Amino acid sequence: MAGELEGKVSIVTGGGSGMGRSTALMFAREGSAVAIADVNDEGGEQVAAQIEDSGGNALFMHTDVSSEQDVLNVVAETAAKFGRLDSMVTAAGISYARYVEGDDETDPFLHPELATNLNKPTEAWQKVIDVNLTGVMLCAREAARQMVNEGHGGTIVNFASINAYNPSPILTDYSVSKAGVVMLTRCFAVEFGPHGIRVNAVAPGPIETPMLARVHRAQVSGGDPWGNVPLQRTAQPEEVAEAVLFLTSDRSSYVTGKTLGVDGGISTV
Amino acid sequence: MAGELEGKVSIITGGGSGMGRSSALMFAREGAAVAIADVNDEGGEQVAAQIEDSGGNALFVHTDTSSEADVLNVVSKTVEKFGRLDSMVTAAGISYANYVEGDEATDPFLHPETATILNKPTERWQKVIDVNLTGVMLCAREAARQMVAEGHGGTIVNFSSIAAYGPSPGIMDYCVAKVGVVMLTRCFAVEFGPHGIRVNAVAPGPIDTPMTASLQRTGALQQQSGALPLGRMAQPEEVAEAVLFFTSDRSSYVTGKTLGVDGGTNTV
């Protein structure tokens, strides 16, 4: 049977690992051609190859989402190779400034004392805002420009977080960037609704991804850190990808401007 | 191919018309046995018959959701006939006290002057709260009790409304009831999460249903929906899709949430 995204073309930022990876694989399974945009070349190439090996269509583009030029490139390459753009998923994100380099010295979960607002340097804040907030804006805006030009509508799904609603003392930059994504999603929904472009977000809770592994590593001595989750477990990235798919497919045809928590019941919104 | 709800058993209150009807038909198509609970006998019987005629399993039970005895009755009848309960959808609701009787003299959209807070009698407030808030509590609670007893988890999807977020003259009782449903959904999610029962809600915007017929007659709904980002009102099936998402395993890590299905109304 035909998939839910048959004939569609999607860009998934952060598609090389975690929830972006799960989303890319699920979208491909549902019939979409998928461009993987990531700074993680190894992961991104692997996901693209996995899709191609399963008979799907994929493309990997090295993309730093905080670079306007990189974002313009991935949109242009995707439209050139697959002929159109229907959906953008902005899953790329970092939990701290040197997350990609894997710099343990600045990992806020390992060294919380360095990550307080009193002690964190401005450049650490700036990097997180650049990737998690400005990066989402650039990707969503360039996708919307492309969709408006093509004239057939489309969808954008952004990644917020439970931290958009819950302040964390060592994650001010991250929490603020994610709260910004919630409002950005609403603003884009208002402007692009008349063009038939729906814009929504997911707000994941504790999901078993490489990013969460760092939280776990820092809490080896503690009790169950997720005991306060009503569903009493963490989740697999596929469970978030299902929500992204719902918000991308026509099943959510009257839903726009919304942020859906996928968090086991933790957050309050 | 197997449907998303194959082997499941659902109760849908308000299943005789509008969004409840669309949910019932969609759930049946996805393989669920469906009990229709409604005060509207004609609509409820018709939906149940339509499901049976298509090869599905259905049951109609006359149910006033504000009556505890009626709610206990529909849960036990459903379990008796279908052997279990997996999902409850609380779509039953009224926009004003005499809505079911179709009393146009008390329709707040046609006669807003009788529906102001200054002028509306207490019994009209009470009726709307009884059906739209206490009715949801009774249905959700009895479903949860049954699911806990059966021990296999389940889902509850409540119907809130955009009115939960935007005060609207003439329907203060309705707005208050619907925001209550948002909090009720969160409270139930916290208590029943450890039992594997997920509890979510939809908050529909302007939908083309019998309830909005008088609003459509006055042109108010067209005006309201035209100003939305998506610029239109929606069909009830578009809400039923969200109800199905919350009921199926696709939303396995989502609980306590209210999703607006509202064309982009500028709220939560």
A198 touching chain B per CB within 8 A: yes
Please give the structure tokens belonging to residue B249.
């395993």
Do the beta carbons of residue A240 and residue B266 sit within 8 Å?
no
Query: Can you list the alpha helix ranges (DSSP code H) found in chain A?
Result: 18-29, 41-53, 68-82, 122-129, 135-150, 172-192, 210-218, 237-248
A2 touching chain B per CB within 8 A: no
Q: SS3 for A8-33, per residue?
A: CEEEEECCCCHHHHHHHHHHHHCCCE
Residue A162 identity? I
pLDDT digits 0-9 by tens, A110-136: 888 888 888 889 999 999 999 999 999
Provide, rounded to the nearest whole percent, the portion of chain B with pLDDT above 70. 99
Contacting residues for B4 by C-beta, under 8 A, at least 6 apart:
B30, B31, B244, B248, B249, B250
Distance between CA atoms of residues B247 and B4, nearest Å: 9
Residues of A in contact with B189 (CB under 8 A): 230, 265
What average pLDDT does the segment B124-135 reach? 96
Least confident segment among A129-138, B113-122, B256-265? B113-122
Among A96, A99, A174, A254, the active-site one is A174
Least confident segment among A94-103, A179-188, B139-148, B230-239? A94-103
Residues of B in contact with A192 (CB under 8 A): 229
Residues of A in contact with B263 (CB under 8 A): 193, 254, 256
| C-alpha count within 13 angstroms, C-beta hemisphere, residue B96 | 26
Cross-chain residue pair B251–A265, CB shorter than 8 Å? no
Task: Note the pLDDT of residue B1.
Answer: 57
Task: Note the pLDDT of residue B131.
Answer: 97
Q: Phi/psi class of residue B7: alpha, beta or left (left: φ > 0; alpha: ψ in -120 to 50)?
A: left
For the domain bounded by B9-261, which CATH number is listed?
3.40.50.720
- Which pLDDT tens digits describe chain A residue by residue (269 residues)? 579 999 999 999 999 999 999 999 999 999 999 999 999 999 999 999 999 999 999 999 999 999 999 999 999 999 999 999 999 999 999 999 889 888 888 889 888 888 888 888 999 999 999 999 999 999 999 999 999 999 999 999 999 999 999 888 899 999 999 999 999 999 999 999 999 999 999 999 999 998 888 887 777 555 677 778 999 999 999 999 999 999 999 999 999 999 999 999 998 76
Task: Note the pLDDT of residue B167.
Answer: 86
Which of B183, B254, B261 should one mutate to test binding to chain A, selecting the residue with the greatest count of A CBs within 10 A? B254
Distance between CA atoms of residues A184 and A134, nearest Å: 10
A78 touching chain B per CB within 8 A: no
On average, the pLDDT of chain A sits at 94
Residues of A in contact with B268 (CB under 8 A): 258, 269
User: Is the per-residue pLDDT at B112 higher than 90?
Assistant: no
A189 touching chain B per CB within 8 A: yes
Superfamily of domain A9-262: NAD(P)-binding Rossmann-like Domain (3.40.50.720)
Residue A253 identity? S
Task: Note the pLDDT of residue B267.
Answer: 67
Cβ pairs bridging A and B (under 8 Å): 112
What's the length of chain B?
A: 268
What average pLDDT does the segment B249-267 reach? 94
Task: Note the pLDDT of residue A250.
Answer: 97
For A182, the closest chain B residue by CA position comes to B268
Task: Note the pLDDT of residue A220.
Answer: 59
User: Is the per-residue pLDDT at B253 higher than 70?
Assistant: yes
pLDDT digits 0-9 by tens, B15-33: 999 999 999 999 999 999 9
**In degrees rounded to 5, what are phi and psi of residue A39?**
-85, -15
Do the beta carbons of residue A13 and residue A43 sit within 8 Å?
no
Which of A244, A255, A266, A267 should one mutate to test binding to chain B, selecting the residue with the greatest count of B CBs within 10 A? A255
Cross-chain residue pair B193–A239, CB shorter than 8 Å? no
Task: Give yes or no: A174 in active site.
Answer: yes
Question: Shortest CB distance from B193 goes to which of A230, A255, A256?
Answer: A230
Sorted by where each begins, the domain ranges of chain A are 9-262
Do the beta carbons of residue A26 and residue A241 sit within 8 Å?
yes
Task: Give yes or no: B174 in active site.
Answer: yes
pLDDT digits 0-9 by tens, B179-216: 999 999 999 999 999 999 999 999 999 999 998 988 89
Task: Note the pLDDT of residue B194.
Answer: 96
Residues of A in contact with B266 (CB under 8 A): 186, 190, 257
On average, the pLDDT of chain B sits at 95
Please give the structure tokens belonging to residue A57.
């269509």
More confident residue, A34 or B170: A34
Do the beta carbons of residue A61 and residue A35 sit within 8 Å?
yes
Please give the structure tokens belonging to residue B118.
């200054």
Task: Note the pLDDT of residue A104.
Answer: 86
Cross-chain residue pair A193–B255, CB shorter than 8 Å? no
A183 touching chain B per CB within 8 A: no
Cross-chain residue pair A255–B259, CB shorter than 8 Å? yes
Among B96, B178, B225, B248, the active-site one is B178
Interface list for A 208-247 with B (CB within 8 A):
229-232, 235, 239-240, 242-243, 245-246
